[in-house]
Amino acid sequence: MSPDNLSIFHITAIPNLAGLAAQRHLLAKNVMTGQGLGYANIAYQSVQGRRANKAVTAGKGGVLHDYVPFYFAPRSPMLRAIDGGRVEGCSYRQDDIVHLRASLRKVIDAKLPFVFYDINAAVFNARCFDDLAHLGEIDWELFFERPTLDGYCKYWNNVHANQRYVSRMETRQAEFLIHTAFPLNLVDEVVVRTQPAAAAVQKLVRDAGWHVNVRAQPLWYF
């Protein structure tokens, strides 16, 4: 798979957007903690505990919380968990969540330090790479096989009775991570579920001084 054909996606809650615009960057969790920056949390706390301690074995090293995480597809299993109310302490639902989409080629050309994982980085057997020659280690067929929604496979759930899909969910959560900070000028668009939300978010980010395209794409949601 060529970087020229891939986008990367970061999800966050709408209340975080004004702060992001002020910072001009997406910041790694350890950076935000170190600067005393607050944010609306949408993550499993139990998983965050593992990520805080899991060593990154390539690139700049450190731990996962030293990096800004991205997925390789929208409509992620994490978004489903949020919308289903399964994330403890998170009252947000999918209408409160935006996707920040960036071109992988533009990110690579910006020469930001990165690593990527073939599956969810928090999983014990996830493999870490810092060389794009290893992009083929990700099972891309699971991302793009039919049936599709806006080009991405509709299904992400594991099917234990079918060896092909026994770890589909973990694979669909393969990650691309940027060390420390991700400049907002590399975000190509902000995507929400509904048109009213797009209008509201467009005003919010412009009022905060961030000039980025905002659009609605319900196929990226459940």
Mind telling me the catalytic residues? 51, 175
Whether residue 53 contacts residue 63, with contact meaning beta carbons closer than 8 Å, is answered with yes
Could you tell me how many helices (H) and strands (E) the chain has, helices first? 8, 12
Q: DSSP labels for 64-129?
A: GGGEEEEESSSS-HHHHHHHTT-STT----GGGEEEEEEEHHHHHHTT--EEEESS-TTSTT--EE
Contacts of residue 17, Cβ cutoff 8 Å, sequence gap at least 6: 98, 190, 201, 204, 205, 208, 210
